[in-house]
C-alpha cells in the first residue's frame, strides 16, 4: 500500500507468499515467452521511429535537449502499446495525467518506504494526497482497460495480440475470475508501468550519458551496428556481441534499482551470522557490482569485462535479481533498449552539454540527476 492506498498490492514484485507469486507467474509467463516477444518487434520499431522523428526536428538547431524526458516518452509509449494496446503518443501530448501519476507514485514510494513518520507532518499532507490520487488514477485506468478488453473478447471482437490479451486468455484457462484475482491483475498492471517503463528509460539515459563520456566506446559501438534501419528478432539475436556488452556494463555501474529485499519467515544462518526470522534482508547490488574484490577497476566503464572469455564472479552481478524470481520482463526490456539505442546512434550524433552533473538521483529507481542534456546533430 502507498499511504493507505493499494498500490503494488500482492503483484509479482511484492508478493511474499510463494504460492500466490507462483500462481501469478504461471499466468503471466506465456506473455513474455520468446515466441510471443518476436511479435512485439514491430511495436519497438514503430515507437522508436517516433523518437527519431522528434529528434529530426531539433537536430542541428543547437538547442540543448534533455534526453531522459524523450526516452521516457518512448518507453511509456512502448509499455502501453505492447502491453495494453493503448497508443498514448506522448510526443504529441506531453505532461499527460497518466505520465504525471507514475512520477508522483515513484516519489511517494520513496517517502513512504524511507520515512515512517512522513504522514505525521502537516507540510507533507499535500504530497500524501497527490500520491493517493495518482495511485487511484493508475488503478482506475487499469480497471477501464482490462474491462474493455474482457468485453471485447467475450463479444468475439478482434483484439490486439498484446500482453493483456495473452494474460486474460491464460487467466480464463486457469479459471481466474474472482475479486481477489482481479485485484491482483490490477496490482500487476501498476507493476508493469513502474518496473517496465521507468527502469528501461533510466537504462537508456545512462547509456547515452556514458557513451557521450567515452567516445572511443561510442565509435566501437557504431562499428558493430552496421546500418540496419529496421530491427527484428533475428538481427538482435545475431547482432555483434558488443551491443550486449555495453548494456550489461551499463547495468553493472547503473542498476536501475539499487537493490532487492527478501523476507525471512524463520531464522537463518549465513556465513556464521544468525539472522532472525520476521525481518527483511536487503541485497544492494549497486554496491556489490562496484566492489574491487569482484570487479577489477570497478568504477571504470569497460564493456569488455563481459566478454564471453572474461572471468566472471558468481552472484555479484544480478541487476534483474536471481533464481526463480528473476525479472520476468528482462528480455523485453533489453530488446527494447537495443532497438531504441541502435536507431538513435545510427542516425544522430550527440554531445553532452558541459558543466552538467553526472551524479545519480535515487527516486526509488536510479536515474541521471541532470537528465542527460545533449546537443543533437545528424550523422555525418
Is residue 327 marked as binding? Answer: yes
DSSP state of 353: P
Distance (Å, whole) CA 158 – CA 152: 7
- Nearest residue to 15 via CA among 30, 33, 28: 28
- Nearest residue to 253 via CA among 215, 303, 219: 303
- Nearest residue to 146 via CA among 231, 74, 84, 63: 84
Q: Which helix (H) or strand (E) holds 190?
A: helix 179-196
The string of DSSP letters for 117-148 reads TGGGSGGGHHHHHHHHHHHHHHHHHHHHHHHH
- Nearest residue to 342 via CA among 243, 250, 251: 243
Helices (H) and strands (E) in the chain, counts: 14, 9
Distances in whole angstroms, Cα of residue 371 to Cα of each of 3, 222, 357: 28, 23, 9
The total of other beta-carbon atoms located within 10 Å of residue 37's CB is 19
- Cell numbers given for 283: 541485497
Distance (Å, whole) CA 212 – CA 206: 10
Query: Binding site: which residues?
Result: 327
Query: Binding site for heme: which residues?
Result: 327
Amino acid at each position: 500500500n502507498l499511504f493507505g492506498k493499494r498500490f503494488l498490492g500482492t503483484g509479482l514484485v511484492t508478493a511474499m507468499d510463494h504460492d500466490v507469486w507462483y500462481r501469478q507467474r504461471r499466468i503471466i509467463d506465456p506473455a513474455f515467452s520468446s515466441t510471443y516477444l518476436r511479435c512485439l518487434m514491430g511495436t519497438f520499431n514503430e515507437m522508436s521511429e517516433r523518437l527519431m522523428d522528434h529528434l529530426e526536428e531539433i537536430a542541428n538547431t543547437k538547442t540543448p535537449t534533455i534526453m531522459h524526458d524523450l526516452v521516457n516518452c518512448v518507453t511509456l509509449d512502448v509499455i502501453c502499446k505492447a502491453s495494453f494496446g493503448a497508443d498514448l503518443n506522448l510526443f504529441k501530448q506531453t505532461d499527460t495525467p497518466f505520465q504525471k501519476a507514475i512520477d508522483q507514485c515513484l516519489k511517494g514510494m520513496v517517502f513512504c518506504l524511507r520515512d515512517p513518520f512522513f504522514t505525521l507532518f502537516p507540510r507533507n499532507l499535500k504530497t500524501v494526497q497527490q500520491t493517493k490520487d495518482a495511485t487511484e488514477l493508475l488503478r482506475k485506468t487499469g480497471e477501464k482497460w482490462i474491462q474493455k478488453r474482457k468485453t471485447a473478447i467475450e463479444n468475439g471482437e478482434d483484439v490486439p495480440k498484446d500482453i493483456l490479451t495473452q494474460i486474460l486468455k491464460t487467466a480464463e484457462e486457469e479459471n481466474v475470475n474472482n475479486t481477489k484475482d482481479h485485484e491482483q491483475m490490477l496490482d500487476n498492471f501498476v507493476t508493469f508501468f513502474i518496473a517496465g517503463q521507468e527502469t528501461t528509460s533510466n537504462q537508456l539515459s545512462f547509456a547515452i550519458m556514458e557513451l557521450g563520456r567515452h567516445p572511443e566506446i561510442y565509435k566501437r559501438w557504431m562499428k558493430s551496428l552496421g546500418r540496419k534501419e529496421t530491427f527484428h528478432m533475428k538481427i538482435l539475436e545475431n547482432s555483434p556481441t558488443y551491443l550486449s556488452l555495453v548494456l550489461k556494463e551499463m547495468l553493472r555501474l547503473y542498476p536501475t534499482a539499487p537493490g532487492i529485499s527478501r523476507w525471512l519467515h524463520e531464522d537463518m544462518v549465513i556465513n556464521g551470522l544468525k539472522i532472525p526470522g520476521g525481518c527483511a534482508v536487503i541485497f544492494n547490488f549497486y554496491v556489490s557490482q562496484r566492489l574491487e574484490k569482484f570487479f577489477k577497476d570497478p568504477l571504470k566503464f569497460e564493456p569488455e569485462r563481459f566478454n564471453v572469455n572474461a572471468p566472471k564472479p558468481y552472484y555479484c552481478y544480478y541487476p534483474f535479481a536471481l533464481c526463480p524470481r528473476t525479472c520476468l520482463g528482462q528480455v523485453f526490456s533489453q530488446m527494447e533498449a537495443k532497438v531504441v539505442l541502435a536507431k538513435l546512434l545510427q542516425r544522430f550524433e550527440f554531445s553532452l552539454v558541459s558543466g552538467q552533473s553526472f551524479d545519480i538521483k535515487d527516486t526509488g529507481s536510479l536515474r541521471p540527476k541532470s537528465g542527460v542534456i545533449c546537443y543533437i546533430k545528424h550523422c555525418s
